[in-house]
Copies of this chain bind each other. A is one copy, B any other.
Amino acid sequence: MRKKFVFIITHGNFGIELLKSVEMIMGEQKDATALGLRLGDSVDNLRSKAEDIITENQMANKDIIILVDILGGSPSNIALYMLKKYININLITGVNMLMLIEIFQSREVKGTDELLEKAIDSSIDGIKRYNLN
């Protein structure tokens, strides 16, 4: 089973804190990191950091799973650029907590395709409205 490196890229610090919040629930996770684009940050600088992270983990023979906040804006543009340039890159938009939990829970026992399908299904199933009124 190939190792999977989870790489979250978002506007602002939300992805960084999402990873920390999930680690608060599940414990510290290896092979995972997050980057955020803050106001005034250089997009080129973020792309360069992202590329360093990707090439380093690809040399270690890991599949890369990039999770971004939304399609549109610099985080997804950087992810799409990496998707075109490198092999074994996977991208999911719309990251939420259950998506990340599902990936961490199953990435050592599922292949990447099956894992991502499950992560998408779980994250979608977890979006529900509750209203007792």
Contact = CB atoms under 8 A, between A and B. Distances in A.
Give the dominant DSSP class at A's interface.
mixed
A71 to B, nearest CB: 7
Interface residues of A, number: 51
A87 B24 contact: no
Q: What is the count of identical protomers in the complex? A: 2
B94 A10 contact: no
A89 B131 CA distance: 7
A78 interface: no
A94 to B, nearest CB: 4
Interface of A: 10-14, 16-18, 20-22, 24-25, 36, 38-39, 69-71, 73, 79-80, 83-84, 87-99, 101, 116-117, 120, 123-124, 126-133
